[in-house]
Amino acid sequence: MTKAPRPGQRRTEKSAPPRTRAVVVRRGIRSAGIAFDVLSALAAEPEAVSLTAVARRAGLSASQAHRYLASLTRAGFARQNPDSGYYDLGSKAIQIGLAALARTDVFALADPAIAEFTRATGRSTLLAARGPLGPTVVRLHAGRIPVITSIAVGSVLPYLRSATGRVFLSFLPEDETAEEVANELATARMQEPFDIHAIRARVRAEMCASVDELLIAGLRATAAPILDIQGRVTLVATTMATRAFDPADDAAIAGQLQALCRRLTESIGGHWPASN
């Protein structure tokens, strides 16, 4: 039999009857869930935000959001700018985020997702990483109608004449690709010059790059980036189609690829531009 607390004695969770303890536990779980909602609201914003903005995104009243933000701030999971009063993620939240990111292998996440994309669309797909010589194919998934080309795992693709290369070109600092691009321009037999700034602007605006028989005759390709926390490209996914595939389907396939790469970017804690 549970003893009643003496006068003036505070009833604790351990001294409470079983039914009361269950209520306390449920309330604690609910409070933790709301706290995570508040943290998620902060994480979803690109910069520090007002109490009103946090409350709106978390689905709370301003007074509720303030109570949780005060607790999270004391614990180091949130912080408040003393001048503006705006809230942002605290050092402990950032530490947890970085620890989770360090445990994430982007290739391990991307490869099965791209394989499933290949099965669903029937189109051959590749994953590329930036190697010492340039964009390098690290995985190739054959579609229902295999693409017969010289492209294989280990192939290095050009920055200017491939969809894959154009995505790397657009999401890496210019000085990191300048030498390779200069070499391509010096050796390429071009019927017309490439407008590199226009290529970058279009790819960044559309979040994908497409080429039609520019690199290989009869081959169309669309590529999209998987980005890290700083918005730098980590991997590029590229879908390829021969004349056996209806070009009328290309736009829909490109949209599916872009959506997949965005989900993968978000899965690794990466930054996908807000306007896209």
The mean pLDDT value for 116-123 works out to: 94
pLDDT of residue 150: 76
Residue 85 has pLDDT above 50, yes or no: yes
Strands, E, within 55-133: which ranges? 78-80, 87-89, 124-131
CATH entry, 18-99, from 1.10.10.10, 3.40.190.80, 3.30.2290.10, 3.40.190.10: 1.10.10.10
How are beta strands 209-212 and 220-227 bridged, if at all? antiparallel
Q: What burial class does residue 193 get, using C-beta atoms within 10 Å of its C-beta: 0-12 exposed, 13-18 middle, 19+ buried?
A: exposed
pLDDT of residue 132: 74
Q: Are 128 and 140 in contact (CB under 8 A)?
A: no
Query: Residue 9: which pLDDT band, with cuts at 50, 70 and 90?
Result: low
Tell me, what DSSP letter sits at residue 128?
E
Radius of gyration of the chain (CA): 26
pTM, two decimals, is 0.64
- CATH C-level class of 104-267: alpha beta
Which residue spans of the chain are classified as CATH 1.10.10.10?
18-99
User: Each residue of 222-253: pLDDT tens digit?
Assistant: 999 999 988 899 999 999 988 877 888 989 99
Residue 82 has pLDDT above 90, yes or no: yes
pLDDT of residue 24: 47
| The two structure tokens encoding residue 75 | 């614990």
Handedness of CA 6, 11, 14, 16 (dihedral sign): positive
Residues 6+ apart with CB under 8 A from 104: 267, 268, 269
Tell me, what DSSP letter sits at residue 247?
G
Residue 3 has pLDDT above 70, yes or no: no
DSSP H or E segment with residue 57 = helix 51-58
Which residue spans of the chain are classified as CATH 3.30.450.40?
104-267
pLDDT of residue 19: 56
